[in-house]
Amino acid sequence: MLTHTSRRQQKYRSPISRRLRQVSPSGIRKFFDLIASMEGVISLGVGEPDYATPWHIREAAIYSLEKGYTMYTSNLGLPELRQELSRYLKDNNGLEYSPDVELLITVGVSEALDLAVRAILNPGDEVIMPNPCYVSYNSCVTLAGGTPIMVPTYEESNFEISADDIEARVTNKTKAILIGYPANPTGAVMSREKLLQIADVARRYNLLIISDEIYSQLVYGVEHTCFATLPEMKESTIFLNGFSKAYAMTGWRIGYAAANKEIIAAMTKIHQYTMLCAPIMGQVAAVEALKSGKDSVAEMVEDYNRRRLVMVKGLNDIGLHCFEPKGAFYAFPSIKSTGMTSEEFAERLLMEEKVAVVPGSAFGQCGEGYIRCCYATSLADIEEALSRMKRFVAKYQKVIGLP
Ligand SMILES: Cc1ncc(COP(=O)(O)O)c(C=O)c1O
């Protein structure tokens, strides 16, 4: 044990916990902050819709404010929202979740993810996840005392995570598999067949699945498979989803978790002490989104699809080979032909041509050699960004002597 004297003699004691020091700040935020200090930048950087929330949803929230709905809600979330959500999941996914014990309304999927890993992990438990993946996955697991185990995914196999690769990494410390498809940053969608193979691994090794399906409604010409609908998977899946992306509601901060009642009770325990409840205005807006947001989502999806086609074709035309993303609103082209690292590419592109993209390396090692371009922005901006990128790529490909 340290005495007072030996404690005083210590030269430097970090005020920050060892666990937090293991985690780096998000590579996305870094670029976001840089862009905010510059003028004339076209941002393909931050992953959020360029639409405002559909008017009927905003109006429902405004009306509720007028009526004085400004208080806390139950920890689990507004009963009306949980009932509506339960109905929605039954109608759209054929899943039955009790609104009283199997659904928890959270402050975005961000909070739901944090609660999920904190609720299930003991120190040193391993969580298997794809690489590249959304920046929070790895950090949330580390902050919860777990160990992220990365499974490389490759463009050649459509950035899908393979069940064999997962199985090869299962140890007696493995607690869960964390997946998020449609994927950020690649736009990959997993086929039902491949998900069934993952379900088989989960079943054989008795693993939990955390499935972040925040982009489930943003798919183009393919079907999204909800993991919890796979045979025998509902009980062992923590299904996360939210309103930020499909309904253009990033600022309202509403997400949810659907899982068995033991897990929801555990997540609620953390939520009640740390967050108490999600904001009531957002919850009221979410009720309206579920009740009558379908047409607005369909319109936005149609528009994203138009932009996706322009972005992917444009990137390929300028020599940045781009895998066809079938979901979310990201293109993930290879920049290997320029000879730069993805961070160099993103920094120079921002400084020289004022186009902001996110380096693929921000999403893990396997993202090196790629950049993430978000196409949830106007067609005019996408076209201008592509023409600036064309000039930039031509300059550097010449410098390193590529055709
Ligand atoms: C895959 C993924 N999951 C979760 C989130 C966080 O979403 P929310 O706004 O619901 O917290 C994001 C945001 O970019 C995301 O891309």
Pairing of strands 208-212, 237-242: parallel
CA of 74 to the centre of ligand 1 (A): 23
- For residue 215, how far is its CA from the centre of ligand 1 (angstroms)? 9
Mutate to test the pocket of ligand 1, among 109, 238, 243, 283 (most ligand atoms within 8 A of CB): 109
Measure the CA angle with vertex 368, ends 367 and 373; round to 5°: 60
- Residues with a CB atom less than 6 Å from ligand 1: 47, 108-110, 134, 180, 184, 212, 214, 242, 244, 250, 255
Q: How many angstroms is it from 56 CA to the middle of ligand 1? A: 23
Query: Which atom number of ligand 1 is nearest to the Cα of residue 243?
Result: 10
To test ligand 1's pocket by mutation, which of 29, 129, 210, 244 has the most ligand atoms within 8 angstroms of CB?
Answer: 244
Q: 391: CA distance to ligand 1 center in Å?
A: 32
- Ligand 1 atom nearest to 109, measured from its CA: 10
Nearest CA to ligand 1 atom 7: 109
- Measure the CA–CA gap between 303 and 51, rounded to whole angstroms: 11
pLDDT values of the chain reduced to their tens digit, one per residue, 403 residues: 555 656 666 678 899 999 899 888 876 776 777 788 888 999 998 888 999 999 999 999 999 999 999 999 999 999 999 999 999 999 999 999 999 999 999 999 999 999 999 999 999 999 999 999 999 999 999 999 999 999 999 999 999 999 999 999 999 999 999 999 999 999 999 999 999 999 999 999 999 999 999 999 999 999 999 999 999 999 999 999 999 999 999 999 999 999 999 999 999 999 999 999 999 999 999 999 999 999 999 999 999 999 999 999 999 999 999 999 999 999 999 999 999 999 999 999 999 999 999 999 999 999 999 999 999 999 999 999 999 999 999 998 766 555 4
Q: What is the 3-state secondary structure (H, E, C) of the chain?
A: CCCHHHHHHCCCCCCCCHHHHCCCCCHHHHHHHHHHCCCCCEECCCCCCCCCCCHHHHHHHHHHHHCCCCCCCCCCCCHHHHHHHHHHHHHHHCCCCCCCCCEEEECHHHHHHHHHHHHHCCCCCEEEEEECCCHHHHHHHHHCCCEEEEEECCHHHCCCCCHHHHHCCCCCCEEEEEECCCCCCCCCCCCHHHHHHHHHHHHHHCCEEEEECCCCCCECCCCCCCHHHCCCCCCCEEEEEECCCCCCCHHHCCEEEECCHHHHHHHHHHHHHHCCCCCHHHHHHHHHHHHHCHHHHHHHHHHHHHHHHHHHHHHHHCCCCCCCCCECCEECCECHHHCCCHHHHHHHHHHHHCEECEEHHHHCHHHCCEEEEECCCCHHHHHHHHHHHHHHHHHHHHHCCCC
> Residues near 387 by Cβ (< 8 Å), separated by ≥ 6?
none
User: What's the token pair of residue 181?
Assistant: 């498809």
Rounded to the nearest whole angstrom, what is the distance from the C-alpha of residue 178 to the centroid of ligand 1?
Answer: 14
User: Which atom of ligand 1 is the closest one to the Cα of 111?
Assistant: 11
How close is the Cα of 350 to the center of ligand 1, in Å? Answer: 24
Name the β-bridge partners of 103. 258
